[in-house]
Structure 1
Amino acid sequence: MPEREQYGRRKTKVRVLFSGSVVLFLTTLLTFFFIFFFRKAIVQKLGYFFSLLYLVLFVASFSLMIAATSKYIHFKKRESVKKRSPKIILIPPPEPTSERNWTFNASSRTDFTVDLSRDEVVINALSRYKADLLKLMELLYNGPTKDERCGICKLPFNKTSIVLQCLYCKALFHYDHLIDWLFAHHTCPLCLNTIYIQ
């Protein structure tokens, strides 16, 4: 996948930058100790200009190491958030042959092939999330209603739309719009919670 390759390249760049800056800083530090112990001989042979030039080099390499370390820490923090972040739900368009409106009781769904008693047991066990689960099941069976609109473009969904739903705010988005948004922002456009593309 191109996104996975891009992530791998970014990870390699950050590691190379971090290790390179650490090596540069350690080399500069060793040179600093060498100059410090032999400063009288160096100042007599090369003058104060060399010492001043070296001090500037030392400060620059130290600043580079701090910048690379902060970038590395930021990258690691984003990586851990990515592992904890919930996934977005992909809701495919409903089958065109099915024009049925499902209701959520067993008597009206007897022709459906899934074990309905098991579905309702799971939903009742998760009563805290019952409303969200029922809405999600309705979306999966029927697709979005005419009243529901994309959270980005504000246009209604058609029967062939592939829809994504944020698990935090339950907002719905066109697949293409949300994927483009997440490549740039990594947050939900409405609730601003962190979401990463897998």
Structure 2
Amino acid sequence: MTSELLDQALVEEATKKSGLIWVTGNGVPTLRAEGAARPGRPLWHVWHDGAACVVGDGPGEQPLPGLDDGGDAVVTVRSKDKGGRLVAWPAKVVELAPDSAQWQAAVAELKGKRLNAPDGEAMPGRWARECRVLRLEPSGTPAELPDGSLAAPPLPSPATTRQPMPAALPRLLFRKKKRKEA
């Protein structure tokens, strides 16, 4: 009983303090073609009423691949200070029905944490129409963390990296300013 309470406290405190969690759902294949393990998807979340709550799968929101209502997931939590893995815990995925009491309580918490929302106060209405709000409820004892690195190439994304510097830029930046003679 004592170890169960300690495990529950570890999961709750680590998840509350972490800004991101890495989640791998059962619907996502665990192995890539090359044989490397598929990394979890980073998700922003809030800890509310004993579970991690996430919102996504709508326009402008985070994707939630492999997270289906009633399915299972593995949540990995990192340290906010050092960035290393603290705990990995199994979760049961529960989709909240829009405008239910649980949905409204979770959305009230999520709304305060959502950064750069395009619609501000209208956000809960958009989430009810176009997004899914999920609870990731702890469903067992935390898993043993692997000894080795789980480093993997990033998932495909439409984001781009910096382009090469234009050829004319050094001349513009480093040219000597001519003094105006009076």
TM-score tier by shorter-chain length is: under 0.3
Structure of higher CA gyration radius: 1
TM-score (norm 1): 0.20
Which has more helix, going by share of residues? 1
Which has more strand, going by share of residues? 2
Which protein, 1 or 2, shows the higher relative CO under an 8 Å CA cutoff with sep ≥ 6? 2
